[in-house]
Each structure stands twice: as C-alpha cells, then as structure tokens.
Amino acid sequence: MIERVPRLTPVQVAAVTELMNAEEQRTDRRPLDEVNRLAIAGADAPPREHWLMGDPLRAYGIVTVEEVAEVAAATPEDATDLLSAIRAAHPAGSLWCHGDRATAHLAARTLHLPCLRELVLLARDLPLGRPERALPAGIVRSAFDPDVDSADWLALNRTAFADLPDQASWTAADLDLRLAAPWFDRSDFHIARAPDGSLAGFHWTKVDPDAAAGDGVSGEVFVIAVAPQWRGSGLAGSLLDHGLAHLAQRGMAQAHLFVDSTNEAALALYERAGFRRVDRDRQYALRQDSPTGGA
C-alpha cells in the first residue's frame, strides 16, 4: 500500500526517521538533503508531498512544490516500487540521490532514468599541515552578522552561483531556514569585505555532529565564493584555508565539500588543496528516455 499525504503525523515522523537512519547506517550517507530533513522535523518550510509505502514502513518519498523528489527505503526493490509511483504522478519531475549506494540511485538505474547532473563529494584530512594563505591587501574578514550582512550575502550568492540555479535562487527565507537550523553557529560563517565596504567573498563552514563523508564525522565547506572582481586575487584560497583551519579548531579531523562534476577548474583547485573524490550525488529526470538512460 502506498499513501500520499500533505503532512506527517508524529508516529509517521518517527517511522520515517528510523527508516532514514537505517539507510544512513548502511551507506554512510543521508538519503535526504538538509531542507527536507528540516521539513520532516517540523521546520517552517514550503509544502511537500509525503509518500509512504508499507506497514511497517519500507519506503518513504518526499516531493517539493518544484517536483523534486528524494527517496529512502529498506531495499533498492522497495525504492523502485515507490519511485515508480512517484514518477507516474510527477513525470516532469526529478529525483536527487545521495551516494553510489543509495537505494534511490539503484532504483533510478533499474528504471533507466536519464542523469541530469552529478555532484562529486570530495574530502581531505585536517589539520592543514601548513600556514594559511594570507588575505589580499585591504581585505577584512569577520563573522557573518545577519542584521548587517544578509542582503549583501544574498546578492553575491546570486552572482557567484549564476550557473547553479538551486544555489543562486536562495531567498531571505532560504537563508533564514539555515540560520535557524540546529547546527548553525555564527563562528562558522566568515565574510570578507573589500576596502570600499563591498562584500568580496565568504566561506560558510558547517559542523554537524551527525554528518560523515566516508571516514567518520566531517566538517563541511558548506558554501564558498568570491565576487567576480576578486577572482584570481588569492582571496578564495585564503578563505578556504581559514575555514579549514577553523574546522580543525572545532575538532574536525576531516572536511568535505560538493562540486559539480562539470566544473573541472574547481575540481582541480580542491584536489590541489588536498581533497580526494569519495562519492557522488546525482539528479535524475523522472521521465524515461531509453533503456540505457541511467548513469
């Protein structure tokens, strides 16, 4: 039996959480992204469809208003059954899968779904083992202040990630949702201002005690960017080093980040900084193009 509901009861939340935790233990990756996990936990987020299969629960799916789905399941076969139902209801939608061993990824391959996008998960050990690279002359680094820096940050985020709509489209509400998350710590969010006061760049690190990237608890390079006029100045390297040193000071023995697989320049930059490739996330179209469409 498959049930589709607009919200979960407390009993259903507990069952979904247990199912997600079980998959994470098997794969070392969380099957759902942060915003969907916050929505399940009751955070103030846009409406979602919740799909539940089986009693006891064997598969769970969540679909946003943009028709982007994620799935957690007890087995790849259960994920395939639920994903088939979601695809019938949302043939123009897409599916995000987290990791090569995710039940959703294995189901997408079974259903021969075409891969739209791939993110590479990279990780490196901490501490840096060398001095931090210096800031460019005149740059001042400080902790992010929501009351002062939010508007400038949103503007630079739109500019820096113009080619990545899911990041560039963040609104003030999206930012506020993360700032209210249990893991948020203002000391993890560093901004850099130019001599004229404009926002030159930022590095938002993240410490989540339950996060891992293949080798145990790991701090994250959550979002990092520099303004176009500061590219090539050394600011990006300095911000990266400072954030990694900060994660080490917070007790992290490892750092991780995600890069689009088509961004060869960024991949090369991070690999030169000591990061290695450990896994992949993929976005699949829910349509079926051909028997060999899956990646």
Mean pLDDT of successive 10-residue segments in the chain (295 residues)?
Answer: 95 97 94 91 81 98 96 98 97 97 98 96 94 96 97 97 89 93 93 98 88 64 96 94 95 93 89 94 85 48
Tokens 């490196």 found at: 124
Domain with residue 193: its CATH number is: 3.40.630.30
pLDDT at 163: 86
Same domain, 53 and 150: no
pLDDT at 3: 97
Same domain, 178 and 232: yes
Number of domains forming the structure of the chain: 2
pLDDT at 213: 52
Same domain, 138 and 275: yes
pLDDT at 291: 46
Assigned domain for 289 exists: no
Beta-carbon contacts of residue 245 (< 8 Å; ≥ 6 apart):
127, 128, 132
Same domain, 88 and 132: no
Same domain, 154 and 75: no
Which domain does 19 fall in, by range? 2-111
Assigned domain for 8 exists: yes
Q: Considering only CA atoms, which of 206, 284, 280 is closest in space to residue 27?
A: 280
Same domain, 73 and 174: no
The model's pTM is 0.86
DSSP type of residue 59: E
Same domain, 65 and 202: no
Assigned domain for 285 exists: no
pLDDT at 165: 83
Same domain, 60 and 149: no
Beta-carbon contacts of residue 152 (< 8 Å; ≥ 6 apart):
198, 199
Assigned domain for 130 exists: yes
Task: Determine which helix (DSSP H) or strand (DSSP E) holds 152, and give its type and residue range.
Answer: helix 146-160
pLDDT at 214: 47
Assigned domain for 256 exists: yes
Of 43, 77, 111, the position where a domain reaches its end is 111
